[in-house]
């Protein structure tokens, strides 16, 4: 099984971390964004969107980060996909929330607060402030959901934790306001303590 990624990608990071956490045997293939490997015909045959992560497993391929997480989790018996219909409902709820609500907000902050800074470029203050305001709303939702909890669903680690935590890969470098959301900070610290999560930490730029 081949797992295509880019080391700086927060979406690919969560797939790499889950594979390592579960001990799923994958060949990690790093693409070069600078060389536009993700736009090569050979990769577009695997993921026509030209994005990472993506998996090729024999003649089968799957892309979109959360779909990749589900496929990886399904490779062996475990509790990461939930133990009931209710748990699965909440897992898919948080994975959908991450992709629809959270990801479109964190990406602009990654760009404005981190990637531009290390390149010596000025941030677009309007974009940054608008994204930060939206992020605070979402962090409040997440913080409330984590009151008295170490995990999002079922009192144990699930793919939902990997899905949401991935969006915080560059949070420290992008100055996310976690000090105002202690439950999120505590939960994320638990995820970051996982060996597989630590092993897939991207390099720090600048």
CATH of 85-199, one of 1.10.3720.10, 3.40.50.700, 1.20.1050.10, 1.10.10.10: 1.20.1050.10
Tell me, what's the pLDDT at 32?
81
Identify the CATH class of 2-73.
Answer: alpha beta
Tell me the pairing of strands 2-5 and 54-57. antiparallel
Query: Over the chain (206 residues), what is each successive 10-residue block's mean pLDDT?
Result: 95 97 97 83 91 97 98 96 97 98 96 92 94 98 98 98 98 94 98 97 82
User: For residue 204, what are the CA distances in angstroms to 91, 102, 115, 174?
Assistant: 30, 22, 10, 11
- What gap in Å lies between CA 6 and CA 12, rounded to an integer? 7
Tell me, what's the pLDDT at 206?
64
Q: Do the first three CATH levels of 2-73 and 85-199 match, i.e. the same topology? A: no
Tell me, what's the pLDDT at 204?
81
- What gap in Å lies between CA 145 and CA 151, rounded to an integer? 9
Q: Locate the domains of the chain by residue range.
A: 2-73, 85-199
């Amino acid at each position: 099984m081949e797992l295509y990624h880019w080391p700086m990608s927060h979406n690919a990071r969560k797939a790499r971390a889950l594979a390592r956490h579960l001990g799923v045997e994958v060949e990690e293939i790093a693409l070069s964004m600078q060389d536009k490997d993700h736009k090569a015909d050979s990769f577009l045959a695997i993921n026509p969107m030209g994005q990472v992560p993506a998996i090729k497993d024999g003649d089968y391929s799957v892309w979109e980060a959360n779909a990749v997480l589900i496929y990886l989790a399904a490779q062996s018996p475990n509790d990461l996909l939930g133990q009931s219909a209710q748990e699965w409902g909440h897992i898919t709820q948080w994975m959908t929330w991450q992709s629809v609500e959270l990801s479109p907000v964190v990406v602009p902050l990654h760009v404005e607060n981190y990637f531009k800074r290390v390149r010596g470029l000025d941030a677009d203050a309007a974009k940054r402030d608008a994204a930060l305001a939206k992020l605070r709303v979402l962090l409040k939702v997440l913080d409330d959901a984590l009151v008295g909890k170490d995990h999002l669903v079922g009192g144990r680690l699930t793919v939902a934790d990997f899905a949401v935590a991935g969006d915080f890969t560059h949070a420290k470098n992008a100055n996310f306001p976690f000090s105002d959301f202690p439950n999120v900070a505590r939960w994320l610290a638990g995820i970051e303590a996982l060996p597989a999560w630590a092993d897939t930490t991207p390099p720090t730029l600048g």
